[in-house]
Every structure is written in structure tokens, then in C-alpha cells.
Chain A
């Protein structure tokens, strides 16, 4: 059974710092990996999707990398801003026959101090 772990569970840093959020998964047979942010009381906002054949994806100040063989992904946030404060979730979709939903980590709760 796929398990997704996110480290750290919580992080508080001053505004302007660059930071890295970590995600690891136990089964490397994945189809893709997706990073989301969730604001309190809201749904999920998709940030980046990395297909299994890709190594990284970039969107603005965000960069996500994927090392499928070692079961790891990182989300890099450059020049953090208070508006980046949210919970960041990593999720993987398995590959192989059939199809099912995403398996999520429990998230990293990020606070950017003004």
C-alpha cells in the first residue's frame, strides 16, 4: 500500500527566505505527483503536476522536483511571502492497471512571518 510522508509537519520562517518542503513515497510505481496548497476552510489549489517521466516543474517562485527511483519530491519556494502561508500537500497517483485516486501526505503547515 502506497504511503506518502511529508516533512516537516510544520514550518515557520521569516518573510523572504527560500525554503524546501519534502515529500517521500514508499512505492515508486507512480504515474504522476501533484503538489497542492490548502488555505484554512478552503478546498485544494493545484500548484504543480509532475509526470513520472519528468524531473521537475516550475511555476513562478515554485519549483518541484521528482526522483522516482528514490521515492522523493521536493517543493522549493523562493523569496517566501506572507501570502504563501498555507498547508502544502503532496499526492501521488499510482501507475499500472486500473485507476484510482491520489494518495496524499498529511501536509506541511507553513507560516511565513511578516
Chain B
């Protein structure tokens, strides 16, 4: 069975601070994919990043960076110099091969509030 845990339900930081959102996953598969999605107050779900289990290089995109560590089954997301527009619920998700039944399993989300 697959499971994604986002232990931080809510985080608040002051604008311009750095913040890290934690994601821990469980799967028996050796090949799998991890995703992060953003859900701003307007409600849509926005894809941020996809990472496969064989690529442990950290990824940086502007103020966003992701740290994937297989040893600890974690795929953490850091926002540097946070801005008010970063306020949203962030979801981590996992997908692994399952003979045609590959479901995307979501964590429960972390609500991030950036205080101006």
C-alpha cells in the first residue's frame, strides 16, 4: 500500500522568511514518482514538480527547491524568501506501478500562510 504523510497541517511565516514543507512517503515499489501540487485560495490545483525515484538530485526553480532523499523516504519542498502569493495549501503525492491501476495518492496537505 502507498501512503503519503504531511505532518505539518498548518504553517505561518512572515514574508521573506524561508519555509520548508515536509513530505514522507511509503511504498514497496522501487520505481515510483513523487509530485507536488499547489492549491491557492482560488481553489484550483496547480502542478509544481514531478520527480522519479531514480533521480535524487535536488531541483531548484526560482525560489522553489525540492530535496529528495530515498534513505529517509522524504521529498521536502522549500520556499526561499516567501511571498504573500505563496499562501496556499500544498499537496505532496505519490504514484507507483500497479498493473493498470496506478492511482495518485495524496497527502493531507499543508496550509501555508505568509504574513505580510
Answer yes or no: are A and B bound together in one complex.
Answer: no
